[in-house]
Amino acid sequence: MFVDEVRIFVHSGRGGDGVCSFRREKYVPRGGPDGGDGGDGGNVMVVASGRLTTLLDLRYQQHYEAKPGNPGEGSNRHGRTAPDVIIHVPVGTVITDEATGETLADLTADGQSQVVARGGRGGRGNANFATSTNRIPTRTEPGTPGEERWLHLELKLLADVGLVGFPNAGKSTLIAAISAARPKIADYPFTTLTPNLGVVSWGEDRSFVVADIPGLIEGAHEGKGLGVQFLRHIERTSFLLHLVDISEWAAEDPVVSYEVMRKELAAYDPSLKSRPSAVVGTKLDIRGDEQRLDRLRTYCKRHRLRFFPISAVTREGLGALISFVGKQVDTLRAPCATTS
């Protein structure tokens, strides 16, 4: 099951108390305070793992609590610090504090971590308060409490290119043809119920990642169909491919399909209107009398949109599309490489 949104409760450990103790040893003429400090409470940490692809495990375990630190002991022995609780999540997870709405972390790299609930600090024992004028202090400090909060975790897939289109536009067929991804493919709407990622190789030792985003229909931003539950996954993509069915059996006019698609994306996130993109006419092998193909090509030419007619089945036009997208992705990556 693909789960990309959960809420969890985290509670870090309380710090151990400092202890009041005095040294009493045979043959030692002068004793004194020797109360040790308490240990720190355990933190709760979230760590991104490239091995995970879903937040499913966190749906079944929502509460994470770290242990408290041990109290101090005599003979200046400090209490043991409690171990951290580590929560593993997929790369691309955004962590938000539910109470404040503050984004605590955006884990975009394997191994990246964030402390989401810091453990309490251990209190000081009475040995810390000895002075020249107070040689038998009885003062100690208690450990401080840990943090607790409800968190909202949201997975946003990391991909260079997002495939957007209405059901049966050929998104799954295309990603299967250009990568090693093997999504479910069938001739009925909403075949794909979860996003799929595929790595596309092009040129010499170059590649880019493609995400197949399911569920877009007219009215999706109002909750129709699968709604917008998967559109969050195109927020990180740097380039969009709008897939339009130009086959002779397609129910909708290709130009109308494209315009409705753009309207739905803009209703979800206005910034997507300015995202670099291209139009892909799919199912070229069953285009019929080419009226739909010509209509979409003319529309794209008039609006200065890059247009690629393809057939994922016969692989016609795939070479030109992959080469174009690869160059676009390299261009978009260049500023990031320069700043880093």
- The alpha-helical segments, DSSP class H, found in the chain are 56-60, 171-178, 254-268, 291-302, 318-339
* Model-wide pTM > 0.85: no
CATH architecture entry for 5-155: Distorted Sandwich (2.70)
Listed residue (189, 199, 185) closest to 165, CA to CA? 189
Classify residue 274 by its DSSP letter: G
Classify residue 167 by its DSSP letter: T
pLDDT band at 228 (very low <50, low <70, confident <90, very high): low
Q: Looking at the chain, which residues constitute the CATH 2.70.210.12 domain(s)? A: 5-155
pLDDT of residue 293: 94
What is the C-alpha separation between 195 and 215, in angstroms, rounded? 9
Cβ atoms of residues 116 and 105 within 8 Å: yes
Which three-class secondary structure state does DSSP give residue 190? coil
Vertex 146 angle, CA 144 and 151, to 5° = 155
Instruction: Report residue 265 as tokens.
Output: 């994306």
Average pLDDT for 59-68: 94
For 253-311, the pLDDT digits (tens) are: 999 999 988 988 888 888 888 899 999 999 999 888 889 999 999 999 999 999 999 99
Burial profile 63-74: b = 16 or more Cβ within 10 angstroms, e = fewer: ebbbbbbbbbbb
Give the residue with greater pLDDT, 170 vs 118. Answer: 118
Q: Looking at the chain, which residues constitute the CATH 3.40.50.300 domain(s)? A: 161-339
**CATH class of the domain whose range is 161-339:** alpha beta
pLDDT of residue 272: 86
For 75-84, the pLDDT digits (tens) are: 899 999 999 9
pLDDT band at 218 (very low <50, low <70, confident <90, very high): low
pLDDT of residue 266: 87
Instruction: Report residue 245 as tokens.
Output: 């069915």
Inform me whether the pLDDT recorded for 164 exceeds 50: yes
Inform me whether the pLDDT recorded for 221 exceeds 60: no
Mean pLDDT of the chain: 87
Neighbours of 332 (CB within 10 A): 16
What is the C-alpha separation between 310 and 193, in angstroms, rounded? 24
